[in-house]
Homo-oligomer: A and B are copies of this chain.
């Protein structure tokens, strides 16, 4: 994530303490935080940071392709820093934990031309659901 700040700088971003702390909070593997969780953790280091700034920064990171939005079933969106390695998600139906997973093969291959209705299909997003070891 340290090179993230470099990439942002080279794209003309001003490096404010708020942006730095949001980028730091998003560092790590299997990170899928809601905007409010990001705000709470950022506020531990920078108490005055506002919700609006967290939303703005997350939105900018998404636009730049540095962070992915993960839509979750009517609840708050989650933000995923693992944007450069294509992956899918495995979600616990009980506690909601999310893990990054990499299925074999191209998921697009499973959709035959006859089932494409003339669409130009570009991506496939897969959500696997089940019980995690703790909840089973």
Residues in B with CB closer than 8 Å to A93 are: 122
Report chain B residues within 8 Å CB of A108.
128
A5 at the interface (CB under 8 A from B): no
Check B123–A130 contact: CB distance below 8 A: yes
Q: Is A121 an interface residue (CB 8 A)?
A: yes
Query: Residues of A at under 8 Å CB distance from B?
Result: 69, 71-74, 77, 90, 92-93, 99, 101-105, 107-108, 110-112, 115-133, 136
How many chain copies does the complex carry? Answer: 2
* Cβ–Cβ contact A126 & B107, under 8 A: yes
Q: Determine the chain B residues whose CB is within 8 A of the CB of A132 once the complex forms.
A: 117-119
CB of A88 to closest CB in B, whole Å: 8
CA distance A77 to B112 in the complex (A): 27
Query: Bound state CA distance, A119 and B102, in angstroms?
Result: 14
| Chain B residue at minimum C-beta to C-beta distance from A121 | B130
Instruction: Give the docked Cα–Cα distance between A71 and B103 (Å).
Output: 22
5 closest residue pairs by CB, A with B: A121-B130, A103-B110, A118-B133, A71-B73, A122-B130
